[in-house]
Copies of this chain bind each other. A is one copy, B any other.
Amino acid sequence: MGNYPSILLENAVNQVASLPGIGRKTALRLVLNLLRRSDSEVETFTGAITQLKKEVHYCRICHNISDSEVCDICNSHHRDRSIVCVVENIQDVMSIENTGQYSGLYHVLGGIISPVDGIGPKDIEVDSLVARIEPEQIHEVILALPATMEGDTTTFYIYRRLAALEDKAPRISQIARGIAIGNDLEYTDEITLGRSILNRTEYNGTNNH
């Protein structure tokens, strides 16, 4: 869609269309929606983004986004401080928190190892994870990374780094992979199905292992 009637409009559309997954038609619709709002509403919109960018903190322990130097989870007395769950990004922290099934701490890598994208171990928060491990305090590290080649590579790399701590190494675990709840076997890919047979769990009459 070319022929913008205004350069200011075109600039705004270009900026909004620079966001991932937003095409130029959608961007135009969003910009025209903003344009119909009052001056103060538009100020609130841009102000919220500006303020976040200027004042955001990343927790110096777990690297999650935070409003202060140490995040609420790392600061909490209600969390199990002996377990650290390693995730790719802050969305993953929010997803796990929403399950209500985990009460330990987190470590946000800020990415996963991906040679194709030029992301190596030094570009993500692995060193800070290893430095965090004090054997008297942290007993288990749960690796909760994507079930992709990059995720598996990162999982294996971190496993080796932690295992190299030898007698100071914590217990290392990985989140379960298998058939997603509600899915038919018929529509599950072969690799997942194959692994779910190899990694079968004992059944005792309930679905809570």
Question: Does B45 lie within 8 Å of A15, measured CB to CB?
Answer: yes
Given contacts A12-B52, A50-B42, contact A34 B5 (CB under 8 A): no
Chain B residues within 8 Å of A89, by CB: 32
Chain B residues within 8 Å of A97, by CB: 3
Within 1-32 of A, Cβ neighbours of B (below 8 Å) are at 1-9, 11-12, 14-16, 18-22, 26, 28-32
Determine the main DSSP class of A at the interface with B. Answer: helix
Given contacts A49-B46, A53-B39, contact A91 B28 (CB under 8 A): yes
Chain B residues within 8 Å of A193, by CB: none
Complex alpha-carbon distance, A58 and B157, angstroms: 58
Question: Does B48 lie within 8 Å of A3, measured CB to CB?
Answer: no
Complex alpha-carbon distance, A5 and B30, angstroms: 27
Interface string of A73-95 (1 = CB under 8 A from B): 10000000000000001110111
Which of B45, B53, B66 is in CB contact (< 8 Å) with A35? B53
Question: Does A42 lie within 8 Å of B32, measured CB to CB?
Answer: no
Chain B residues within 8 Å of A48, by CB: 8, 11-12, 14-15
Q: How far is the CB of A199 from chain B (nearest CB, A)?
A: 29
Q: How far is the CB of A80 from chain B (nearest CB, A)?
A: 17
Binding site for B on A (CB under 8 A): 1-9, 11-12, 14-16, 18-22, 26, 28-35, 39, 42-46, 48-57, 64-67, 71-73, 89-91, 93-95, 97-98
Q: Told that A5-B93, A11-B48 touch, could you supply 15 new A-B pairs with CB distance under 8 A?
A: A1-B95, A7-B67, A8-B56, A15-B48, A15-B49, A16-B49, A20-B30, A20-B33, A28-B91, A31-B52, A32-B90, A35-B53, A35-B65, A45-B49, A46-B49
Pairs across A and B, CB under 8 Å, 22 listed? A1-B94, A1-B95, A5-B72, A5-B73, A5-B90, A5-B94, A6-B56, A9-B52, A11-B51, A12-B52, A15-B48, A15-B49, A19-B34, A20-B33, A29-B91, A34-B49, A35-B53, A35-B56, A39-B54, A42-B53, A45-B49, A46-B49
